[in-house]
Chain A
Amino acid sequence: MKLNFSIKTSFYSFYLISLIFLGGCSNSQMRSLYGLNSLFSQPSISYREPSLGLKFLATIVNDNGQEKIKLFDLRGKRSVALPGINRFDAQPISVSISANGARLALIRQRVDQTELLLYRRNLGTLQRLEISPKGIPRRVSIDASGKILAVQVSREGRWYIDVIRLQS
């Protein structure tokens, strides 16, 4: 009887201590979205730099040595055309998508230039954004509205972050 009480007390003490220590922490595997992951499982293609909107995923793919930006509609489970965004003589470096997928910010290298660009999907237009003072962009992030960009820029051997607010 006494032993039983002691075991119970030890168990509850251990349980309480565990709760105190683990209360601010959870650790379990995430649920993989297998149906969607099949979109990115072509064996000959490499996928990198994912950027999620609410219903779209933008990524840089390497298909037989040719790098390009691709957009996937996660609800329709299909890729979406991005006319005019990729060039055979340009290599994409970074991409970021707005929440509704209407705008993509991207950095690409073309010949000896590294450019920061904004792609408006409804118009199919690509707008070059100047970096001032001059610098070499490396990575970009766009906000949900597609009107604010944060850009990692190299100037005189140091990385800076510029925040660019677009008027429209």
Chain B
Amino acid sequence: MPQVDRLQDSFLTRSQEEPALSGNGDKLALIVDQNGKPSVQLRDLRNGKVLPLRHLVRHQPHSSPSLSWNGRYLAVIVQRGNRRMVVIEDSLNGRIHQLPLPGERIPIRLSLSPDAAQLAVQVTDRGRWRIQLFDLSEKIEPDRSMGSLRSIDLPALGK
């Protein structure tokens, strides 16, 4: 029988949407309604606390959060002026990476790989949804859990 926890919120009427777990399962990013603005929130699941975000407190509406392995990187779609844009906040050094898409395509959903080496973005292209993959290895350093990587890597390789 699986153990089920419901995420607590001090605002009982506040909606909780778009969950995204960190690779190690310790952190959860989600979208909550803050004064009518869908805003990303980061939680520590070990103690339920809301973790501070340095940059992601404006440019709402936010959507489609995604976390790296240890939750160091939080990728999310934000609104900058009249553009939807992908940004990644680095909780280790406080930097924000703004990632405009080639051809000014509009990001709809995204997924960060656990090691933060790649980003998959769902975009609209001539009336269809497409997925575009991007290499982040030259922009940000990896977020790996070497112990976990070794133990879970083996079955995928068929060893």
On A, residues with C-beta under 8 Å from B are: 24-33, 36-37, 40-41, 43, 45-57, 59, 62, 74, 98-102, 122, 129, 131-132, 138-145, 147-152, 158-167
Contacts and interface: CB of A to CB of B under 8 A. Distances in A.
B69 interface: yes
B30 interface: yes
A40 B130 contact: yes
Contacts, number: 195
Nearest to A50: B120
Nearest to A47: B131
A162 B25 contact: no
Interface of B: 1-7, 13, 15-25, 28, 30, 45, 54-55, 69, 94-102, 108-115, 118-122, 128-136, 138-139, 145, 148-149, 152-153, 155-156
Nearest to B132: A37
A37 B51 CA distance: 35
A141 B96 contact: no
Contacts of A129: 2
A30 B135 CA distance: 7
Given A24-B94, A165-B3, A57 B133 contact: yes
A151 B4 CA distance: 10
Given A32-B102, A51-B111, A164-B2, A144 B129 contact: no
Contacts of B24: 143-144
Give the top 7 A-B pairs by smallest Cβ distance, nearest first: A144-B23, A150-B19, A143-B25, A50-B120, A30-B134, A100-B156, A148-B25
19 contacts: A25-B95, A27-B98, A32-B102, A47-B122, A48-B109, A50-B111, A52-B112, A54-B113, A54-B149, A56-B156, A99-B149, A139-B19, A150-B19, A161-B7, A161-B16, A161-B17, A163-B4, A163-B5, A163-B45
Contact of B133 (A36, A46, A151): A36
A167 B2 contact: yes
A98 B148 CA distance: 12
Contacts of B20: 141, 150
Given A41-B130, A48-B129, A99-B152, 19 more contacts: A25-B95, A26-B95, A26-B98, A29-B99, A33-B135, A37-B131, A47-B130, A50-B109, A53-B113, A99-B23, A131-B4, A132-B4, A141-B21, A147-B25, A152-B17, A162-B6, A163-B28, A164-B4, A166-B2
A115 to B, nearest CB: 15
B102 A162 contact: no
Nearest to B94: A24
Contacts of B149: 54, 99
A32 B153 contact: no
A96 to B, nearest CB: 8
